[in-house]
Chains A and B, each alone.
Chain A
């Protein structure tokens, strides 16, 4: 059974801080790892990672994958209050479907002014 574990479960920081969110996974047939951001509404797609060591970057957010150690990190630099959200990590089903995702429990990030 595919498994995704995120840490920490929650995190409180001040504006301007840098945060690192962790995601470890166990899948029989790895194809990709995805990061989503969920505020009080629909999860929105951030990154998809398929190759080890290649950083994906979007503004202040970046993410990298380590397929040897089976984990990924999501970095947010110079945090802002608008970054407050639940960050979800997910992997597609080992059985072949890219639409059946196994999600971690998420990391609740709170950025205080």
Chain B
């Protein structure tokens, strides 16, 4: 069974640009959540999607957005990039049943903003 797949794995952008990151969850998983990981702040929750609906949102500005498609694949977008957006962006999927809180993470997309 394939794990959570994130693309691209690495990317470099300049300030002011926008970026779109993609996440394919484990087959059968309907919940997809996104986290930002930086050395200073650690892992911080961005948002969570279930059945194409955003169920939860973290404390990030409106430049950060996402969506989920009918096949559960998800994308997140960051517009007007700032230097501080440089981070590892992790996607996690879950069966969304049983409420165990166990998430399966992808290997992340490492974004560098110059």
The interface of chain A, by Cβ under 8 A from chain B, is 31-32, 34, 36, 41-45, 48, 88, 90, 92-93, 95, 97-106
Is B22 positioned at the interface, with any CB of A under 8 Å from its CB?
no
- Which residues from chain B contact A92 at a C-beta distance below 8 Å? 101
Is B70 positioned at the interface, with any CB of A under 8 Å from its CB?
no
Main secondary structure of the interface of B (DSSP, over half): strand
Main secondary structure of the interface of A (DSSP, over half): loop
- Give the contacting residue for B96; candidates A41, A99, A102; CB below 8 A: A99
Q: Tell whether A97 pairs with B55 under 8 Å between CB atoms, given A43-B90, A105-B42, A106-B42.
A: yes
In the complex formed, the residue of A with least CB distance to B42 is: A105
The interface of chain B, by Cβ under 8 A from chain A, is 3-4, 31, 33, 35, 42-45, 48, 50, 55-56, 58, 90, 92, 94, 96, 99-108
- Assess the B42–A41 pair: CB atoms within 8 A: no
- Assess the B42–A99 pair: CB atoms within 8 A: no
- Assess the A45–B108 pair: CB atoms within 8 A: no
- Assess the A101–B103 pair: CB atoms within 8 A: yes
- Which residues from chain B contact A93 at a C-beta distance below 8 Å? 45, 56
- Which residues from chain B contact A101 at a C-beta distance below 8 Å? 35, 43, 45, 101, 103
- Which residues from chain B contact A90 at a C-beta distance below 8 Å? 43, 101
| 5 extra A-B contacts, CB within 8 A, seeds A42-B106, A43-B43, A100-B33 | A42-B105, A42-B108, A43-B105, A100-B56, A105-B42
Q: How far is the CB of B39 from chain A (nearest CB, A)?
A: 9
In the complex formed, the residue of A with least CB distance to B50 is: A99
- Which residues from chain A contact B44 at a C-beta distance below 8 Å? 103
* Complex Cα–Cα for A102 and B43 (A): 8
- Which residues from chain A contact B105 at a C-beta distance below 8 Å? 36, 42-44
- Give the contacting residue for A102; candidates B4, B33, B45, B104; CB below 8 A: B45
25 contacts between A and B (CB under 8 A): A32-B101, A36-B105, A42-B3, A42-B90, A42-B105, A42-B106, A42-B108, A43-B105, A45-B104, A48-B102, A93-B45, A93-B56, A95-B56, A97-B48, A98-B99, A98-B101, A99-B56, A99-B94, A100-B33, A100-B56, A100-B58, A101-B35, A101-B101, A103-B35, A105-B42
